């Protein structure tokens, strides 16, 4: 190997970690920790990440401010985070792991429930307000910006006046499960697409209502 070839190969190897950092993505599923919240509508973010982790054959481990796992897919590094701070303080975990992993906010995707969307509807957006969602509000407050991608998962709004909290913290009905299980699978696919195909292509491919 000549000197020029050696020089080029040596510095290519040195630059590799920087290239890897540019390909990292933080995927945050919002929810509340504890057995009593496992099957609730508010925990759909956790469920989506659990499904994706199972497909990729990786396990979550306890870490600072949440449960973490990671895997590689088509040259990208996906870091999955389920905050352990409870919903209203989700921003603490998001800010910490973005900083620790040196991930830009455009490579962040937050998965959460949405009352304003019909059940099973997926809506991926590059930015937006909190829309009354306490988890998104805390993330916005601590990041100092509402410009970060999010995947909203519709849970419907079939609740009586003044019963919103009971509804979001209530468990899915068996009839609803038939709809959302397939949509959870679709949301997991959308997360992979976010890293490989980009935000705009993913919005075009996955934004839409469930077929009931």
Contact criterion met (CB below 8 Å) for 86 and 29 = no
The rounded distance, in Å, linking the Cα atoms of 38 and 133 is: 19
Q: How far is CA 60 from CA 85, 111, 122, 169, in A?
A: 16, 17, 24, 23
Q: Which of 205, 151, 192 has the alpha carbon at shortest distance from 56? A: 192
Token match 């991930």: residue? 103
Axis crossing angle, helix 134-143 with helix 90-101, rounded to the nearest 10: 40
**Which residues are the active-site residues?**
42
């Amino acid at each position: 190997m000549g000197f020029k070839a050696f020089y080029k190969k040596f510095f290519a190897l040195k630059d590799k970690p920087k290239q890897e950092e540019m390909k990292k993505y933080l995927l945050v599923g919002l929810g509340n920790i504890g057995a009593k919240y496992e099957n609730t509508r508010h925990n759909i973010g956790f469920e989506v990440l659990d499904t994706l982790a199972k497909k990729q054959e990786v396990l979550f481990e306890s870490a600072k401010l949440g449960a973490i796992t990671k895997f590689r897919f088509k040259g990208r590094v996906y870091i999955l985070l389920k905050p352990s701070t409870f919903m209203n303080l989700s921003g603490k975990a998001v800010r910490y792991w973005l900083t620790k992993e040196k991930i830009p906010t455009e490579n962040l995707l937050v998965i959460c429930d949405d009352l304003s969307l019909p059940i099973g509807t997926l809506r991926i957006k590059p930015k937006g307000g909190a829309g009354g969602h306490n988890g998104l509000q805390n993330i916005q407050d601590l990041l100092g910006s509402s410009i970060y991608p999010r995947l909203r998962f519709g849970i419907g709004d079939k609740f009586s006046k003044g019963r919103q909290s009971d509804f979001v913290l209530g468990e899915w009905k068996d009839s609803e499960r038939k709809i959302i299980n397939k949509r959870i699978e679709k949301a997991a696919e959308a997360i992979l697409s976010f890293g490989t195909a980009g935000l705009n292509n993913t919005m075009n491919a996955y934004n839409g209502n469930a077929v009931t």
